[in-house]
Amino acid sequence: MRTERFDLNRDGSARLMVDIYDEKPAVGKAPALIYVPGGAFMMCVETDRGEIASRLVERGFRVSCTYVYPVGRAYRFPQVTIDLMKAIKLVRDHSEEWSVDPDRIVIGGGSAGAFICMTCGNLWNRSDLMQAAGCTGEEGKPNAMVLGFGPMYCGQQTDDAQLTYVANGDLVGEQTPPAFFHHARKDSLVSVYQTIAMVEMMERRKRPFGVYISSNGDHGSTSSQNRFLERDGTASPCVDDWFEGCWQFLQNELGMKQDVKPREPMPMPPLTCELPIVPEGSVPTKPEDMPFGQADNLHMPFSTRFWDIDCDTYE
């Protein structure tokens, strides 16, 4: 493995640390990871990516990067998003040299890093940010995201040293790439509702997502390599609780090879009972026209023979 450093601004306070692994993929090109560390926007630890990066490298990722951004008084939004777009473009520009698949670049982060990743996923196609990042098309677009315990609705220090409120859920749209979220329910620093709200908006905007929420554990627990005993006597979560689900999610969304058997057609048995009564006033319709499984609909009909919109509500 060799490591290369790329400065993303003039003073080097924003940089991309790139680990390139010696073994090239046997066939074609391999995915790459860009990890954005957490630290409450006050610190940025380059080694923070270790747990998720090591597991992805074991599964065939060719390049593992850390985006190191300015912190404290030097932190600026949306400059951090612009610099992450630059980092993605940089990896794409080196895709031939590093044997990286330019259509399989995953960004990930925890806490503050997850926020920065989410803004990149939502804003990569804004013309002003694209121009600032040197992008003319999709060079700065992430293909998927892995986001842990992030303050997705968060106040930010702007380029003119003012504060602005960034509601990532409201920014989700067709441009937002697939995202896998993980969070601990008892997080006392960043409420689990931050992730729940993002998942709801991803579903409302019809964007692919996966999610793991542990029943216990505090801030950062889901990224821990080890399982610890919490103060209430329960065992905390760790990265291995959700990684396999995340890996399957990435395989599905990035179109990677699957080592599973194809699903056999499910035969429908003949009906052995009388069909349900169609309530008076119901509207006959086709099952595909019914809003099953939609984020803005909680109404499920008793039977697919009809859409019982006029039924009384049980109280």
How many separate domains does the chain show? 2
- For residues 204 and 233, membership in a common domain is answered with yes
From first CA to last CA, the distance across the chain in angstroms is: 65
- Using alpha carbons, select from 34, 225, 58 the residue that is nearest to residue 114: 34
- Provide the pLDDT for residue 290: 63
- For residues 170 and 199, membership in a common domain is answered with yes
What count of other Cβ atoms lies within 10 Å of the Cβ of residue 277? 11
Query: What is the arithmetic mean of pLDDT over 104-115?
Result: 97
> Taking 80 as the threshold, does the pLDDT of residue 66 lie above it?
yes
* Domain end (from 229, 254, 279): 254
- For residues 96 and 188, membership in a common domain is answered with yes
- For residues 85 and 120, membership in a common domain is answered with yes
The most confident of the ranges 146-150, 159-163, 255-259 is 146-150
Cβ-based neighbours of 81, under 8 Å, separated by 6 or more: 116, 119, 120, 123, 129
Helices (H), the chain: 50-58, 79-93, 95-98, 112-123, 127-133, 168-171, 192-204, 243-254
Q: What is the pTM of this model?
A: 0.90
> Taking 90 as the threshold, does the pLDDT of residue 222 lie above it?
yes
- For residues 246 and 303, membership in a common domain is answered with no
Cβ-based neighbours of 235, under 8 Å, separated by 6 or more: 216, 227, 228, 229
> What is the residue range of 11's domain?
2-254
- For residues 308 and 226, membership in a common domain is answered with no
pLDDT tens for residues 12-45?
A: 999 999 999 977 666 689 999 999 999 999 999 8
3-state secondary structure of 140: coil
- Provide the pLDDT for residue 258: 82
What count of other Cβ atoms lies within 10 Å of the Cβ of residue 93? 13
- For residues 291 and 142, membership in a common domain is answered with no
- For residues 137 and 274, membership in a common domain is answered with no
pLDDT tens for residues 281-307?
A: 666 566 566 666 666 676 677 676 666
Q: Kindly state whether residue 265 falls inside one of the protein's structural domains.
A: no
- For residues 240 and 305, membership in a common domain is answered with no
CATH code for the domain of 181: 3.40.50.1820
pLDDT tens for residues 184-203?
A: 999 999 999 999 999 999 99
The single-letter DSSP state of residue 290 is S
- Report how far residue 312's alpha carbon sits from residue 164's, in angstroms, rounded to the nearest whole number: 46
- For residues 204 and 284, membership in a common domain is answered with no
* Domain end (from 210, 228, 254): 254
DSSP E strand boundaries for 158-270? 163-167, 179-184, 209-214
